[in-house]
Amino acid sequence: MTGEGQPAGDAPSFAVWALPGIPEVRAGDDVARLVADAASGAGLPGLADGDVVIVTSKIVSKAEGRLRQADDRQAAIDEETVRVVARRGQARIVESRQGFIMAAAGVDASNTPVGTVLLLPEDPDASAERIRRGLRELLGVEVGVVVTDTFGRPWREGQTDVAIGAAGIEVVDDLRGGTDPYGNPLGVTVTALADELAGAGDLVKGKTAGLPVAVLRGLGNRVGETGQTARDLIRDAAGDMFRLGTSEAVREAVTLRRTVREFTDEPVDPAAVRRAVAAAVTAPAPHHTTPWRFVLLESAGARKRLLDVMRDAWVADLRRDGKSEESIARRVRRGEVLRAAPYLVVPCLVAEGAHAYPDERRAAAEREMFVVAMGAGVQNLLVALAGEGLGSAWVSSTMFCRAAVRAELGLPDDWDPMGAVAVGYAAGRPKARPARDVEAFVEVR
């Protein structure tokens, strides 16, 4: 037991001790009864109102029959995984079916018979509530219950126990809106109390001592009908800045890169666009050149003047093509995606460093290399914008009136506008992209 020699008076303190005497748990066992029997053992203080019972999830899983025959642990991990967050070799950090971001979906092959694995409890919060109710019925005490499992943490070596289930206990202490002793406002302080309790319990339970349950006393003010559960500790996707591993983030950003044609009027952060441009100029290019230039139209006046010039040039082309005024008006309306965007980028190709060839074939191939490099740069830009949470649409309009665009923007003659990119926040979720069979695009030799 810890807590001896604690400060006297009103100084905050608590005591925590492990419960010896928990037998090997099997499917169908009543965890509450096992805890109650152990807590009543000789030399132990028993359970009292306001105590917190901290239970390793492993014995909960065993009692709930979550032991599986599984010679292939990877297959069991697959079944318990919602999505892969990061992968390195066989190691996987995943989102489990319970919503936790953790290694191997919590599938455990230790301390189980050979050829079996142990899955996490189906609903750890419900498990904690059943243990809490059981202890109330058996001992007449009002306690909090925390069900724990061992997690690693990003950027930190080592593992620690955290709460995956909780009942009858404050799970978080939200201090936002208050002030510190100096009067400074607290804007982001939310303490994960249940995780702190889990860690305190693990100090006396240990990982190999065969002590799966601990009792913590002295924080009765945190125990009661709080309405909070461990699920309250799971950060939702919208607030998760570190949702993916590196390679997964790249694939996700490529997938998220969709053409957006309707934008909100929320302004675009110019710094976010510059970060996307920084990614764009890492694209491959011929002869160690840097053929990309990006004209950023950040003012509404600059955007309107350019788009008016482009529209007039387009209308003139359509009239020369013999299109009717009705047809012209319809086409112009379809092209208004650029006008609706709160930010425009005009990518330009500058073929400095291109080799001069006397014959037309090689000269054309040289030009194509630079155009390909331009496409790679723009793709980098679009993907990086998606990573910033911005929608985009790459429209080819400027390529049909390059001289007019150069004149309006005051660009050198050797800058070739390669379309325009509308940038902004999508007004709605894009429609689901139909699945494409990779083999339809592949030839193997």
Task: Say if residue 230 is in the same domain as residue 379.
Answer: no
Task: Report the SS3 class of residue 348.
Answer: strand
Strand partners, 416: 349
Q: Are residues 307 and 197 in the same domain?
A: no
Amino acid, single-letter form, for residue 406: R
Instruction: Verify that 327 and 196 share a domain, yes or no.
Output: no
State mean pLDDT over 252-280: 88
Summarised one tens digit per residue, pLDDT across range 324-353 is 989 888 888 776 778 889 999 999 999 999
Q: Is 377 inside any structural domain?
A: yes
214: domain range?
A: 15-66+121-239
Report yes or no on 107 lying in a domain: no
CATH code of the domain covering residue 278: 3.40.109.10
Same domain, 192 and 310: no
CATH of the domain at 185: 3.30.1330.100
What pLDDT, on the 0 to 100 scale, is given for residue 186?
67
- Is the pTM for the entire model greater than 0.75? no
Q: How far apart are CA 150 and CA 57, in angstroms?
A: 9
Rounded mean pLDDT of the chain?
89
Helical spans, DSSP H, in 159-264: 193-205, 246-256
Distance CA 294, CA 392 (A): 15
Domain boundary among 206, 239, 272: 239
Residue with tokens 């005497």: 21
Residues sharing a CB contact under 8 Å with residue 401, sequence separation 6 or more, in sequence order: 309, 310, 313, 314, 317
**Is the same domain home to 290 and 394?**
yes
Tell me, yes or no, whether 113 lies in a domain. Answer: no
Res 436: pLDDT:
85
For residue range 239-249, list pLDDT tens digits in order. 887 777 766 67
Higher pLDDT, 174 or 63: 63
Give ∠ CA 172-240-432 in degrees, rounded to 5.
Answer: 130
**Residue that wins the pLDDT comparison between 44 and 219:** 219
pLDDT band at 209 (very low <50, low <70, confident <90, very high): confident
- 393 close to 337: Cβ distance less than 8 angstroms: yes
DSSP 8-state assignment for residue 439 = G
E strand spans, 200-240 = 213-217
> Cα–chain-centroid distance for residue 374?
30
Give CA–CA dist 133/368, Å, rounded: 73
Q: How far is CA 233 from the centre of its chain?
A: 15
246 burial (CB, 10 Å; 0-12 / 13-18 / 19+) is exposed
Q: Are residues 233 and 337 in the same domain?
A: no
Name the band, by pLDDT with cuts 50, 70 and 90, for residue 3.
very low
Q: Is residue 102 part of a domain?
A: no
167 falls within a domain: yes
Residue 245 · residue 87 · CB < 8 Å: yes
pLDDT tens for residues 308-328? 998 999 899 889 999 898 988
Q: Dmax of the chain from CA atoms?
A: 100
In this predicted structure, the answer to whether residue 256 has a pLDDT above a threshold of 80 is no
| 262 and 362 within one domain | yes
Please state the length of the chain: 445
Last residue of a domain, one of 239, 256, 271: 239
**Three-state secondary-structure class, residue 289:** coil
272 and 336 share one domain: yes
Report pLDDT digits (tens) over 95-136. 999 999 999 999 988 778 888 899 999 999 999 999 999 999
326 in helix, strand or coil?
helix
Show the tokens assigned to 414.
Answer: 């050797």
Judge whether 136 lies within some domain. yes
The token duo for 434 is 């139909």
- Same domain for 62 and 200? yes
Q: Structural domain tally of the chain?
A: 2
The pLDDT, as a whole number, for residue 90 is 77
In a domain, residue 78? The reply is no
Helix (H, G, I), strand (E, B) or coil at 238: helix
- 254 and 234 in a common domain: no
Q: Is residue 264 one of the residues assigned to a domain?
A: yes
Specify the 3-state DSSP secondary structure of 164: strand
At position 444, the amino acid (one-letter code) is V
Long-range contacts of 40-45 (CB under 8 A, 24+ apart): 44/17, 44/19, 45/217
Q: Which of residues 219, 239, 259 is at a domain's end? A: 239
Residues 202 and 299 grouped into a single domain: no
- Clarify whether residues 46 and 175 are in a common domain: yes
